[in-house]
A and B are shown apart, each in its own frame.
Chain A
Amino acid sequence: MISRDFLKRTPVRIAAAFAFLFALTVVALVGVLYITLVSELDTTIRQHVEEISDTLKAIDRQQGFEDLAAVVAEEANSVRDFDSIFLLRGDDGTVRAGNVENVALFSGWGELDRAWLPMVASKGNPDDRFFAKWIEVSKGHLLVGGSDREIREVRRILLHGLGWGLLTTVLLAIGSAVYLARRAQQKIDVFATTLSKVSRGQIGERVPVTQSQDDLDHVATQINATLAHLQKLIESVNQASSDIAHDLKKPIGRLRRRLELALRSDDTMAFRSQVEESLEELDSIVETFEALLRITQIEAGARRARFATLDLKSVIVDVADIYEPVVEEAGGSLVSHTSGSGSSDVIGDRELLTQLFANLIENAVRHSPPGTRIDVGFETRGDRHVAIVSDSGPGIPDHERENVFRRLYRLERERSTPGSGLGLSLVAAIAELHSASVDLSDNGPGLRVEVSFPRA
């Protein structure tokens, strides 16, 4: 069940790291406790030995050696569990009293074990060691020693505790790791299944987002947002491809007929004119492609890197100036209302904004009957700079207003006239790039287009 994959999972790794850290803490804690307790007990035992020694010395001093021998004998006999040792020797080395066999003299503290105390082997605890010390008494030497039993007991308890503590820590860590990994894995498995469904074409699938609002839920939300965006893109690409195919069938058909006619004609003049018309047809097909690619590139947004602060009003005035004679030539009039002072700075790309306004004005010219008046204006409203292009032409019917930004969309009444259906798509793409909104409304009669830019 614990496969190599399992060990690679993030929660497992985190749990392992925590288990290690906890174990380390437990070991350190127990270690410190051990050292402190052992040194404390060590001191206590030695102090105890010193105290007994002092008492016995006092007896020797005040009541004499024989009384001391009697007290030692009594003490030695009354020792419980053999946790203290006594040995009193006369000056000649004979044992006068005690509960151990003869032990050689040594100076200072000694640690005696069974090798020193053969007699002890059968009594008391066989593992006992004794902290012992020879002291001089009036007619000989006295050995007093205390067992290290308590130290070993503490050590045993601590080791025991350490063992259980470590076991519990590690088990808890593994348990939580398994739990967390399982829980995360279940979610991740759902992600994987969903995404593989998406990659197989079920673009509408979404991953579930739980109430717990954890990291994975944030990822899930992000995945869903990305999928929704992708779905929209794919749909628009699908729509665009079929629109393009549909839209280009007509001109390509025309082109083919022209070339065929040219091939059949014996008259050089007719041949030439057919070929020339074919070239024009081809140019307009290329133009449509160019415009489509341009929209795609603008939508990709790389152009934003070239943005600079520019005077929006001056762009509008320039474009209006350029188009004024063109509109007049078409029998209409172009009036600009761009007076008024105050900054009209926006962040943007002058070339693209020029094209945006050119497209709006051209739209008005091309879709209106001769004699139509076109108004171009500029206003500042709060934190927005708003450019307005309005005409008194036929306008756009309400039910079609939604669609005109779609690529290659043509108004129902204009399907038979020339035009690419890309003008407003391009306007929308450029506006979007500039974080500007495009609003179409009824100019009663005609169309009113407002492009609202955030102020620089």
Chain B
Amino acid sequence: MRILVVEDDNETSAYISQGFDEEGHVVESLTDGREGLTQAMGEPYDVLIVDRMLPGLDGLSLVRALRAVGNKVPVIFLTSLGGVDDRVDGLNVGGDDYLVKPFAFSELLARVNALARRPHLKDTDTVLRVGDLEMDLIARTVTRAGDSIELQPREFRLLEVLMRNKGRVLTRTMLLERVWSFHFEPRTSVVETHISRLRTKIDRPYGSELIHTVRGSGYTMHDQP
């Protein structure tokens, strides 16, 4: 993957670059917003990581300008602590995701992966499959190995998000945002409880796990043992 990081804090920038480098990706870093815009318009990138506050041109304006010329490269905004409204602003100008500093690299990695390899499935796909698990989005039914499985609407939604991101890691925070629209950190084990309930329905009776815990990161679905 080719990633452009526009971030004026050198330490954060180095931290991000090193992380993606170790994951085998190509990272280019810039500190100035205007240079970032020029670079992003001139070269094809898989993902842009843009800080909200930048010298030259702020992150929001950068992305607004990019979108104005029809550039659709996925963008993740970085913002400092406490920006309650920053996420909405970021998404409004055409950002795809949003992360508050300080963050764990695994969180950023998961989000970049989720964005860069945009769903392989087309919007017209109405059946999701992971191994012998099948989800029919029209009939809203789930079957595994031919058995019909009853799910609550919220369990269905959780499983759908996991299946749509087959093979990718979804962090706790990503699940909270995407499944339950929680934009805060709950102090109880909301994610763990719901995942565990889902597992007892779709995994436990079948002996092989499809939902996997990625230690220190989150959860992923795949059918490789």
- On A, residues with C-beta under 8 Å from B are 286-287, 289-290, 292-294, 296-298, 302-303, 306, 321-323, 325-326, 329-330, 350-351, 354-355, 358, 362, 365-366, 419-420, 423
Q: Are B181 and A354 in contact (CB under 8 A)?
A: yes
B81 at the A/B interface (Cβ < 8 Å)? Answer: yes
Partner among B82, B85, B193 whose Cβ is within 8 Å of the Cβ of A325: B193
Known interface pairs A286-B102, A294-B84, A329-B193. Does A322 touch B180 (Cβ–Cβ under 8 Å)? yes
The 0/1 profile, CB within 8 Å of A marked 1, for residues 175-198 of chain B is 000001111111111100110110
B140 at the A/B interface (Cβ < 8 Å)? Answer: no
A328 to chain B, nearest CB (A): 8
- On B, residues with C-beta under 8 Å from A are 81-85, 88, 100, 102, 154, 180-190, 193-194, 196-197
Q: Are B190 and A355 in contact (CB under 8 A)?
A: no
Q: Which residues of A contact B193 (CB under 8 A)?
A: 325-326, 329
| Interface of chain A, main secondary structure | helix
Partner among B81, B84, B183, B186 whose Cβ is within 8 Å of the Cβ of A303: B84
In the bound complex, CA of A317 to CA of B84 (Å): 24
Q: How many A-B residue pairs have CB under 8 A?
A: 65
Partner among A322, A326, A351 whose Cβ is within 8 Å of the Cβ of B183: A351
Q: Are B81 and A289 in contact (CB under 8 A)?
A: yes
A371 to chain B, nearest CB (A): 16
In the bound complex, CA of A365 to CA of B188 (Å): 8
B39 to chain A, nearest CB (A): 31
Q: Which residues of A contact B187 (CB under 8 A)?
A: 362, 366, 419-420, 423
Q: Which residues of B contact A330 (CB under 8 A)?
A: 188
In the bound complex, CA of A286 to CA of B107 (Å): 15
Q: Are B184 and A289 in contact (CB under 8 A)?
A: no
Q: Are B194 and A354 in contact (CB under 8 A)?
A: no
Q: Are B82 and A296 in contact (CB under 8 A)?
A: yes
B66 to chain A, nearest CB (A): 24
Among residues of A, the one whose C-beta sits closest to the C-beta of B153 is: A321
Q: Are A297 and B190 in contact (CB under 8 A)?
A: no
Among residues of A, the one whose C-beta sits closest to the C-beta of B187 is: A362
Q: Are A362 and B84 in contact (CB under 8 A)?
A: no
A303 to chain B, nearest CB (A): 6
Known interface pairs A322-B154, A325-B193. Does A358 touch B186 (Cβ–Cβ under 8 Å)? yes
Known interface pairs A286-B81, A290-B82, A362-B187. Does A325 touch B197 (Cβ–Cβ under 8 Å)? yes
